[in-house]
Structures are given as C-alpha cells and as structure tokens.
Structure 1
C-alpha cells in the first residue's frame, strides 16, 4: 500500500496567532522607544557637560581677575603711601566651639536657627545687619570669619553633604545638585561653590541645601584659653581671615 506524500509546511503557510503578532509589535516598539530615550538622554548629558565645563572655565577667569585686581589695588595704595582696606566680608563661615552647658535660652534658639546643633558644626552665613547682631549674641559659643575660595572649595569637596528629603546625602554627583537646585540654574558643584563665594541671588537656597559641616577638632587642639575672645588669646569670636587657617586644621 502506497504511503501518501508528506511535506513540511513552509513558514508562509503557518498562521501566526494574532496575539503573538501584537506582542512582537509591542516589544519592537518598546525597544525602539528605549533606544530613542537613551540616545536623547546621552545628548542631553553631553550638552550639560559642555555647559558645566564652560561655566567652570568662566568662574576660574573671574576668580583670577578678582585676585589680580586685589593685588593691583594693594600695590597702588602702597605706591601712594596709603593703606588698602579690603571690602567688607559678604559671607562668614561660623563654627560652634561650645556645648550646651549653661546655655541661655536666647543663644540656644539662635544656634538652632543657624543649624549649629553640635560642637564643631560649621555653616556659611550671609553677612547682614541681622546676622551680625545674632553673631554678637552667640559670640561666646562660636568662632567665625571670612572664608576664601580655597577654604570653601575644600570644605564642599571634602565634607559637603546635601539635604534631600531630610536625609544627608554626599555630593558625589552633579545630578543630586541639579535635582534639588536646578530650578535656580545651579547644575554642578562648581555652580554651588560660585554661589557661596560670590553670595549670589540664591545663596539662601544653596546654604539651606548644604547640610551643616561636621568638622574634626583642630590639629594641635584648641588654645589653652578656648573661651576667651580670639584677640585675647582665646578662640571665640571674629577671627576675620584667620578662619581659613582654622578650617585647614579642622577639615
């Protein structure tokens, strides 16, 4: 008895279920969308990097120009037999040096407002008439002065933390800064440093974003008479530009 001829059906003769076709189309579409989104994100990151590098270069030129102008004014004053008096400080770095023992209610409240809750905590404060009055009231508990660019940069790069949803996060990525301060056109850590140094229009937002700096005890320890004023051989009060030396010892 002859057996019937059997043939394997071709791919075109096999009907693919409609659900499988829809699934394939959806998968292909999702893949294309992911690739397009990844490409767009890559282009956006590249554009932002270009903006950040360009801004950083502008900041460096600005800092150098300011430094050269200060030197020129010093030399011009010396040549004419006068003294050059620098402009009044615009920003202070304030460090708490005393604990809670025998702390009066008013200074305690001011220290809370300035977020100086622990010994060796430090914050940047804009110099205004109000903040100077507050500093006078808490002078026995803090030391402060005008930080220079190097001090601000070292503090933020080494001990900088941001406040994100009431949590303390390290500033290891510009994305953290952009997410919190991007609405103020602050995209990178160099933008943040520039805003602090120049006391820009969004200084308050930047200062509040930065978690209070947790510093170490200064190398070599505090002075023997720690709770006398700085000019009397102690550590408390305004030490002007000498705050930078203390920052190096505590950072």
Structure 2
C-alpha cells in the first residue's frame, strides 16, 4: 500500500460535519465515494487531522489515505478535485511514509472565527460569519483573551459528547482583529483544541465584550472549572480550520 497526504478545503454549509454518520451527507462520505471510484470500486478510508462539525469550514484540513499502488500525485489530485463537488477542493497531494498519520502526528492547529458586527446581518456573510450586533469593548476582550494563552485544563470549554480524557491543551496565542467594515476576526493557535472549544471561547469573549460576564471570567472558569463563567457556544458558520502543522518537537493531543 502507498500512503498519501492531502490538503483539502471545503465549505461546510451543506454538510453534517466531516465524519461519516447515518442519514446525513458528510465530507468524509463524499471524498471516500470519489476515492472508491478511482480505486476500481474498492473502498478507501480517509483519516483527517480532526473532525469539523456541521456548518464548519476548512481552508487547510489535512487527511491521509492508502491506495494499493503508486499514483502520479498531480494526476490523482486533479482526478479527486474534479470529481468531488464544487464546495470541496483538493489543494495538494503528496506521497508520505507509511507511518505518517494526519491526526496523531499533528503538532499544531490554527482556527479563525469570523463575527459580523453590523447592525443588520450582512446577507453575503451569513454562511461564513456569525452575526453579533451588540456593542463590544474590544480592549476588555483582548485583555480577557490573554488568560486563554498557555497550558490549561480546558474541560470547562469542552462540549459534552467528547470521549477525550486528557483535556489539557497549550494555546500559543489568541488575537482579535478588526477586518474590513463591521467584522471581527478571532485567531486561535495551539497544539490542539477540544470539541467545540474555540466556539465556546468565542461565545465567552463576546459576553465579556458586551459586559454580560466580568473581564476575568475566563480566568475564573479555568481556575475553578466554573461553567457559570462561560458564555454560549458560538454559531458554527463563523469557524474555519485554517492550518495544520507537522513540525516541532511536541505532538498534538488526539
């Protein structure tokens, strides 16, 4: 068998997330169906760096899969890219060693979250940004975001349904930028993120910015695992998996 690594991009609007599930169309299902056709009708399983939820997008998701023979990587990329729907793109494919694993060897990830802050929701952003029209104190949000950085037990910012036992993660940086008119961009970089962790952190930062939670809410939530100091989970459409790293000494948490 020959192992291939692929970088893929997708608009998650019309999919029930990445992972295959019954009675729903998913990214994994669509790509595996295409690979099956390219593999003479034999099933091919793809393995992602991590799963994305329904409505969540990816710019630089990484997957790996095995095929029984060597292929020209550009021909394989072109075939896979042209035979998947228009909302899925195969950006690059390369042959890798058999011990490469898209999930277990990742050393870091970067997520972006977009918020439309206009008085009325922008119809052209509705699928790619969450709308939040309340007044926000950006300085307070930026000060609060500093408490996210570093290594912490993020159990309080993990949604129910996660099977992961070790919920300690190292968040390298969190920034909040104003981009264009009436739009905020949250950038999270770390060695790994828990189930809905980024969306829960964004929801909490927005509540802090609006004065509905104290500025030290995140610090108190992490110190005491206090759910009362967390905000709601932000909507999925604003979230983008931007990049997965495979360099450095430390491996990403599963």
TM over 0.5: no
**Greater fraction strand:** 2
**What TM-score, normalized by structure 2, do the two folds share?**
0.23
More helix by share: 1
The TM-score normalised by the length of structure 1 is: 0.23
Give 1 or 2 for the bigger CA radius of gyration. Answer: 1
Greater RCO, 1 or 2 (C-alpha within 8 Å, sep 6+): 2
